[in-house]
Structure 1
């Protein structure tokens, strides 16, 4: 569980830098965006046929990290349009 929190925090932080919201987000927001982004990215990857086997992907996988960052970027872009 702790590994997922660290992973989510790093993915959320990187996504916030990509989108340009790095100075507006704190540690908890980065963790939340990263973890939610991992779910969003995983859902999109599954729909496109790029999803891994259930239970096989670990948060330390490069593919999992890239998917989480992509999902977090998408989430932040949507939030920017809404707010």
Structure 2
């Protein structure tokens, strides 16, 4: 794993995590670092699922893979926000 790969994962994770928070209604009590971590995990799982389903090698933009990643980010952000919200009460 090169330094470029790590930076790429952080940038993609930030974008996917931010989209996950954007599509999730309401306020989420998590910080931006946790959002990036959730985004990175969602991007990795979404890519793995797309490869298993055989939709990761489509010509052009892989829209199905991107949608899967964002949906997983929404789920991840909601789970993390729910856990963090309960622990602060």
Length-normalised TM-score, structure 1? 0.62
Where in structure 1 do 4 or more consecutive aligned residues deviate above 4 Å?
A: 61-67
Q: Deviations over 1:29-51 (max 9, x none)?
A: 11111100011211221232212
User: In structure 2, what is the Cα distance between the partners aligned to 1:42 and 1:68?
Assistant: 7
Partner of 1:71: 72
Match of 2:33 among 4, 10, 28: 28
In the TM superposition, 1:36-75 aligns within 5 A as: 36-52=41-57, 63=63, 65-75=66-76
Alpha-carbon distance in structure 2 between the residues aligned to 1:22 and 1:46: 33
- Structure 1: runs of 5 or more not aligned: 53-60
Number of residue pairs the alignment of both structures matches: 74
TM-score, normalised via structure 2 length: 0.59
| Larger displacement relative to structure 2 (40-49 or 21-30) | 21-30
Per the TM alignment, residue 11 of structure 1 is displaced from its structure 2 partner at its CA by: 1.1
